[in-house]
Amino acid sequence: MSLITVNNLVRYYGNHRAVDNISFTLKTGDILGFLGPNGAGKSTTMQMLSGNLAPHEGEIHINGFDLLDDPKRAKAEIGYLPEQPPLYKEMMVDEYLAYCARLHRIEKPRIDNAIKLAKTRCGLMESGHRLIANLSKGYQQRVGIAQAILHSPKVIILDEPTVGLDPNQIREIRDLIVKLGQEHGIILCTHILPEVESVCNRVQIINKGKLVYEADMADLLDERTAGFHEIVLLHPPSINQIYAVADINNVERINDNTFLVHTTNSTAENIVNAAVANNWGLIKLIPHEKTLEQIFVDLTLSDEKRSDKNNAEIES
């Protein structure tokens, strides 16, 4: 059974359709990278999934419970870490987690064990009697994650969990997310695309309220070199001349002599033949990995900017 099932989710702000008919699922073991540019509807979607905002249309089921019809039971299955962790910094770690345990309605005899388990999983065993205000930003993030998993939820939603951390702290939090993903379903909202590539097994991209991309990371890795080639030419032709080569469906100028070319048949034979026949002076031709960043930009760049970019390339 899916931990999260979202069907045809819609949310308006006035006449603006901020979330437009989104559907997806999340299962145990999934670490889903949920991406989108500012204003795409990402935060609105997360607010609806966490029960903080009601959808105008659609359904959300959390571990089998309907979030609209049975909100208390559905929300009990969610652990949430917002971008700004909800910490009371004047409290000690143990004191804060005990307070959170009561908010999560953990039975009193179970609170001590729940706190101990959460601290163990988050590497906080030596920090229980320290003031949260005196902890480093990385350890404050750990406390934030500890409160999110304290009640053993099936689903964990993490919003920008590594923002403002140093490289060592980022690595530690990413390792923690991977470990948590073995027993939970996790939705990771972040603008750090390498973070998605390093910890997630699935990725989704939302743009203008619509889900425009969804793939397993393994499939994305397979796609990376499929038909993309970087070519360097001593006597480069115009963009239009390269487009005229058979099986070429996209050309991007990187600099005066270097182009990124995508072919429909994943081979470069036609490019080599054209370069030789037209004396373009082929210096280098290598397979090119299409990164998640490039996919993100291609899918979320506005139509107006994309048109301007293409026109500039054709005119150059």
Q: What is the CATH number of the domain that holds 145?
A: 3.40.50.300
- Domain check: are 62 and 211 in the same one? yes
Q: State residue 227 phi and psi, 5-degree precision.
A: 85, 0
- Can you give the pLDDT at residue 194? 85
- Can you give the pLDDT at residue 88? 96
- Can you give the pLDDT at residue 302? 55
pLDDT digit string, tens, across residues 301-310: 754 454 454 4
Q: Starting at the edge strand that comes first in sequence, how are the strands of the sheet with 282-287 ordered?
A: 248-253, 258-263, 228-233, 282-287
- Domain check: are 168 and 29 in the same one? yes
The 10 Å Cβ neighbour count of residue 67 is 23
- Domain check: are 213 and 262 in the same one? no
- Domain check: are 229 and 215 in the same one? no
pLDDT digit string, tens, across residues 195-227: 898 899 999 999 999 999 898 887 776 666 567
- Domain check: are 33 and 130 in the same one? yes
Taking residues 229-243, report their average pLDDT: 91
Tally of domains within the chain = 2
Whole-number percent of the chain with pLDDT over 70: 92
| Helix/strand/coil percentages in the chain, nearest 5 | 40, 30, 35
Specify the length of the chain in residues: 316
Domain ranges, residue 305: 222-315
Q: What is the CATH number of the domain that holds 310?
A: 3.30.70
pLDDT bucket at 290, cuts 50 / 70 / 90: low
Which of 173, 190, 220 lies at the terminal end of a domain, its last residue? 220
- Domain check: are 140 and 285 in the same one? no
- Domain check: are 243 and 154 in the same one? no
Is 209 in contact with 224 (CB distance < 8 Å)? no
Is 185 in contact with 275 (CB distance < 8 Å)? no
- Domain check: are 232 and 206 in the same one? no
- Domain check: are 35 and 68 in the same one? yes
Taking residues 77-92, report their average pLDDT: 92
More reliable by pLDDT, 257 or 301:
257
- Domain check: are 176 and 231 in the same one? no
Taking residues 228-234, report their average pLDDT: 90
How distant is the alpha carbon of residue 183 from its chain centre?
19
Which of 186, 220, 254 lies at the terminal end of a domain, its last residue? 220
- Domain check: are 134 and 231 in the same one? no
- Domain check: are 178 and 292 in the same one? no
More reliable by pLDDT, 316 or 281:
281
Residue 27 in tokens: 């299962």
Strands 185-189 and 31-35: parallel
pLDDT digit string, tens, across residues 268-278: 788 899 999 99
Taking residues 177-195, report their average pLDDT: 90
Distance CA 296, CA 300 (A): 6
Q: Which of 159-168, 227-236, 241-250, 289-298 has the lowest mean pLDDT?
A: 289-298
Which of 220, 255, 289 lies at the terminal end of a domain, its last residue? 220
- Can you give the pLDDT at residue 264? 79
Q: Hey, what's the torsion of the CAs at 245, 251, 254, 260, to 10 degrees?
A: -80
